[in-house]
Structure 1
Amino acid sequence: MGSEQVVPLTLGVLYPGEMGSVLGGLLRKQGFRTITTLAGRSKRTRKLCRHAQLEVVHSLQQLVDSADIVLSTVHPDSAPKVAEEYCACRSGKARQQCFVDLNSIAPATVAHIESMLADADVDFVDGAVHGMAAQLTTFGTIYLSGASAPAVAVVLERAARTRVLGDRAGAASAFKMLISGVNKGVTALLVEVCLAAREVDLLEPFFASCGEAYPGLMSILERTLPSYPQHAPRRVQELREAAQMVADVGLRPRMIESARQVIGEISAAGLPSDNVRSAIQILAELHAREVLKQSQLPDSITCQRSVE
């Protein structure tokens, strides 16, 4: 008797931006057929797709008709729209399929997407990626939750460390929001105090001293701040989602909102993203552009001196 031929799963990536192209490329190297579509995507996305060697199909409809698992990796603001467009391509005779949302969104947004997919008779897995795309295999972790999460984990763990957080959709996104608040909150705090140190000509000794006293915290700044010239607008949106989650559980997101304001100022500075610089070089550029200067801030968030 001849052995049966095993047909590899087909994975659809919506869309091959930085994270989608890296994850898709890793899964392609593991033998999965990995497809995407580039209709309406930017030149940068097209370039990333070519580099990852993903198979490009002509349309979203063709991707939906072909994939076994669909991975959504887009800007947080775009996540519901991508899910809606995906559902619009489903028909009554569509194949059994699983949609995995890997975006940095709040559980409330996840619930909205899950409802859409339930109406389209699609299995849904809530997911989140902790870590930068460029370091996904070494430092990244993919978190999953939902009834089909264990089955999806078997696939994604071929590309990166994967953890299942239970069978309730929303748990993975909540976990991501918690981590996001810490990661970006630490970055925002350190940017503020480092710029203050620069104002009194103490940045270099202060930076070195913090590296000795708080190596873990400084490693966050040194790892993440160089990505902010390109990704600060996205980080602002992620913190908006994190603030929403905190508010939804009945707390006031004071620190997360403050971090969002700081990173919003970094985003507004418009730093060039065409070359990689160190964290301390980025800090020097932010200082030169007078980021966080009180004269540049709305009156509502300037520090008022109390009169005794």
Structure 2
Amino acid sequence: MSHANTATVGLLHPGRMGGGFGGALADAGHRVLWCPAGRSAATARRAAEFGLEAVDDLAQLAAHSDVIVSICPPHKAPQVAAAVAETGFRGLFLDANGTTRTVLLDLAGKLSAADIRVVDGSVIGPCPQDAPGVRLHLAGDKDEVARITALFEGTGIRVRDTGGPLGAASALKTAYATYQKVAYVVAGIAYAYADAHGVVEPLIGEASLITRSPLTEVLEDEMLPSVASRAWRWGPELTQCAAALREEGLPGDTADAAVRVLERWFPARDAFDGDTRRALDLLGGRL
């Protein structure tokens, strides 16, 4: 599907996620540029597969792009933004990396000082080429967010406006990643311990009975105050779990860390008052 108003987009860089985004934009009728300098042969093959156009260097990419989309490892995001600022680019810059709000605001401040307009973005979901459903959350100036939204019209990428200022999309990604990525790490440890004792099947059976995400349950069912009120009992239990994990040669650090979090809720002992705000304030050290 082609746009009535197409744009030239500079993509930094066509990794697995970035390549999928570039391919989606190219399929929608946009001209998508990328810079092969310093990139791998696998990246070059991916770029060719997605119909991206190679340019000689970053300066040429910036000179010909209306919008630059940065999708790279989070720790590389400031370096990428600084390199773009040095090119004299004066278009719209979408930072769609998994940076924190603090990193994004610092990055945006430096780009703004170079007269580059910035939209804060965060990507949640699978690579577009792997499965449908990837979401691109945006934050920042209303008109600039609308321009990025229009850019992805007709693609399979679901664009969602957080309605917040710069930093809101990055804050969302931090919150989501904290839950989702740590949950997978903990699941791996739990599976390994169950495997060591031959109880994988019943563990999976119990897990299959969980039909909702704890992330939604803690708020929708006022579960968070309940968890806070039981922290004084859960803490010692997890301390024992940490010791049991170490007996099997597994890391007990995640259980130890959970105990340190639970300690903040010890003042809520047996207080099933349904006060989610109090539970959050205790966790945040505001009480």
Q: Same fold (TM over 0.5)?
A: yes
Helix, strand or coil for the counterpart of 1:192? helix
- Give yes or no for the alignment of 1:133 onto 2:122: no
For 1:44 and 1:292, how far apart are their aligned partners in 2? Answer: 40
**2:237 corresponding residue in structure 1:** none
Q: Deviations over 1:30-59 (max 9, x none)?
A: 101111111001222222212212111111
Helix, strand or coil for the counterpart of 2:132? helix
**Cα drift, residue 202 of structure 1:** 1.2
For 1:295 and 1:302, how far apart are their aligned partners in 2? Answer: 14
**Cα drift, residue 132 of structure 1:** 1.6
- Give yes or no for the alignment of 1:155 onto 2:151: yes
Written as runs of structure 1 = structure 2, the 5 A alignment for 1:107-186 is: 107-134=101-128, 138-147=132-141, 148-159=144-155, 160-186=157-183
Amino acid at match of 2:114: A
- Give yes or no for the alignment of 1:193 onto 2:187: no
**2:66 corresponding residue in structure 1:** 68
**Cα drift, residue 295 of structure 1:** 4.4
Helix, strand or coil for the counterpart of 1:124? strand
**Cα drift, residue 154 of structure 1:** 1.4
Helix, strand or coil for the counterpart of 2:34? strand
Name whichever of 14-23 and 48-57 sits farther off. 48-57
Larger radius of gyration: 2
**Cα drift, residue 209 of structure 1:** 3.5
Q: CA RMSD in A?
A: 2.5
Cα 1:297–1:188 change in 2 (3 A) is closer
Asked if structure 2 preserves the Cα contact closer than 8 Å seen for 1:294 and 1:302, the reply is: no
**2:210 corresponding residue in structure 1:** 214
Cα 1:120–1:137 change in 2 (3 A) is farther
Written as runs of structure 1 = structure 2, the 5 A alignment for 1:27-46 is: 27-46=25-44
Q: Deviations over 1:194-250 (max 9, x none)?
A: 111101111133224312x024569xxxxxxxxxxxxxxxxxxxxxxxxxxxxxxxx
Amino acid at match of 2:69: L
For 1:8 and 1:35, how far apart are their aligned partners in 2? Answer: 13
Runs of 5+ consecutive residues of structure 2 not aligned to the other structure: 215-244, 257-287
Written as runs of structure 1 = structure 2, the 5 A alignment for 1:1-12 is: 8-12=6-10
Helix, strand or coil for the counterpart of 1:177? helix
Asked if structure 1 preserves the Cα contact closer than 8 Å seen for 2:186 and 2:254, the reply is: no
Asked if structure 1 preserves the Cα contact closer than 8 Å seen for 2:8 and 2:32, the reply is: yes
Runs of 5+ consecutive residues of structure 1 not aligned to the other structure: 1-5, 219-290, 304-308
Q: Percent same amino acid at aligned positions?
A: 26
**Cα drift, residue 137 of structure 1:** 6.3
Give the length in aligned residue pairs.
220
Asked if structure 1 preserves the Cα contact closer than 8 Å seen for 2:21 and 2:128, the reply is: no
TM-score (norm: length of structure 1): 0.66
